[in-house]
């Protein structure tokens, strides 16, 4: 049996007379449309090619695993055996995380990803750092952006190991996924949302990220734009005690519900 972990492995597996599970964590045929311009000839070729590959893979796969219900609903038109396994961390990765006492003088927000262009079109954060530099809403830590320079109250921590990243997130109170709205968000289920929750961060997320909103429910706050995000952070700063209580509830919820281990059954079912 083959576990095909992306479109290209799936294409190879579909050409062999071997049972295979297709693990689609990207929705390749839609993502290439979402991240390309109308006159991009290479992307136009990819759209045609990847879509045709995906059709064959879905028709021939013995089972399909994907990360969101929106993707699963579309894949089920071509394969009835589609299972959803969200992008949650394993319990062993997060069981020892502890929230240190936050600083008294300001809120600390964190964003894992790039704040400097070029952006993937559906992960656009242009102007995010300016909100913190101009809005007096606390400090922002950015993890994973090798180009961004420190410009207080924005602090760039660069690339980090996963363990070090999680420890750094634990020092923050708010986890951000402030991507500018995009139609592809209905298919997205970024794992940083759940890593934030395990670190005890209140997640502020773009309203168009439907799967994250449904999964976190009351443990996140949805925003439409940066102006609303700034207003929400300012409101949270006025009641630190309530925010601290909320953070503890978020981490307890994450430990109970947002772990990959809970989906072992779905993986085993796909293999059966």
Q: What is the pLDDT of residues 65-110, one digit of tens each?
A: 999 999 999 999 999 999 999 989 999 989 888 876 666 668 999 9
Q: What is the Cα–Cα distance from 106 to 173, expressed in whole angstroms?
A: 10
Is pLDDT at 63 greater than 90 in this prediction?
A: yes
The whole-number pLDDT of residue 35 equals 87
CATH of domain 91-257: 3.40.50.2000
Residue in 175, 205, 212, 198 with CA at minimum distance from that of residue 249: 198
Q: What is the Cα–Cα distance from 143 to 163, expressed in whole angstroms?
A: 13
Q: Which helix (H) or strand (E) holds 132?
A: helix 128-135
Strand ranges (DSSP E) for the chain?
A: 2-4, 20-24, 63-66, 82-84, 108-112, 139-143, 154-158, 174-177, 202-206, 220-223
Residue in 103, 116, 121 with CA at minimum distance from that of residue 32: 121
Q: Which two tokens stand for residue 36?
A: 């390309």
User: Is the torsion defined by CA of 70, 52, 183, 253 positive or negative?
Assistant: positive
Name the residue with higher pLDDT: 6 or 100. Answer: 6
The whole-number pLDDT of residue 117 equals 92
Is pLDDT at 219 greater than 80 in this prediction?
A: yes
Q: Which helix (H) or strand (E) holds 67?
A: none
Confidence of residue 39 (pLDDT cuts 50, 70, 90): low
The whole-number pLDDT of residue 64 equals 98
Is pLDDT at 272 greater than 70 in this prediction?
A: yes
The whole-number pLDDT of residue 38 equals 65
Residues contacting 193, CB < 8 A, separation 6+: 175, 177, 203, 205, 209, 212, 215, 216, 220
Mean pLDDT of 185-213: 97
Domain range summary for the chain, segments of one domain joined by +: 2-84, 91-257
Q: Which two tokens stand for residue 65?
A: 């695993």
For residue 23, the 8-state DSSP code is: E
Mean pLDDT of 178-192: 96
Inter-residue contact 63 to 76 (CB < 8 Å): no
Confidence of residue 58 (pLDDT cuts 50, 70, 90): very high
Q: Which of 14-23, 61-70, 173-182, 238-247 has the lowest mean pLDDT?
A: 238-247
User: Is the torsion defined by CA of 24, 180, 210, 203 positive or negative?
Assistant: positive
């Amino acid at each position: 049996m083959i576990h095909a972990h992306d479109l290209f492995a799936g294409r190879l597996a579909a050409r062999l007379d071997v049972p295979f599970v297709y693990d689609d964590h990207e929705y390749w045929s839609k993502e290439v449309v979402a991240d390309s311009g109308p006159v991009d000839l290479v992307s136009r070729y990819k759209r045609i090619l990847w879509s045709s590959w995906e059709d064959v893979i879905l028709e021939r796969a013995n089972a399909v695993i994907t990360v969101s219900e929106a993707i699963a609903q579309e894949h089920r038109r071509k394969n009835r055996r589609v299972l959803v396994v969200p992008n949650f961390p394993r319990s062993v990765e997060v069981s020892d995380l502890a929230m240190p006492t936050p600083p008294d003088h300001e809120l600390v927000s964190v964003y894992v990803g790039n704040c400097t262009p070029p952006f993937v079109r559906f992960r656009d954060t242009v102007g995010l750092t300016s909100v913190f530099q101009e809005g007096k809403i606390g400090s922002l830590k950015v993890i994973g952006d090798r180009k961004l320079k420190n410009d207080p109250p924005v602090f760039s921590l660069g690339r980090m190991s996963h363990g070090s990243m999680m420890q750094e997130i634990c020092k923050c109170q708010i986890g951000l996924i402030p991507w500018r709205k995009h139609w592809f968000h209905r298919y997205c289920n970024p794992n940083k949302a759940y890593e934030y929750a395990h670190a005890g961060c209140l997640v502020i997320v773009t309203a168009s990220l439907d799967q994250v909103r449904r999964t976190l429910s009351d443990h996140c706050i949805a925003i439409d734009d940066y102006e609303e995000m700034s207003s929400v952070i300012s409101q949270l700063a006025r009641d630190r005690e309530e925010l601290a209580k909320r953070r503890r509830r978020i981490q307890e919820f994450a430990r109970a519900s947002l772990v990959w281990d809970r989906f072992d059954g779905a993986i085993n079912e796909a293999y059966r």
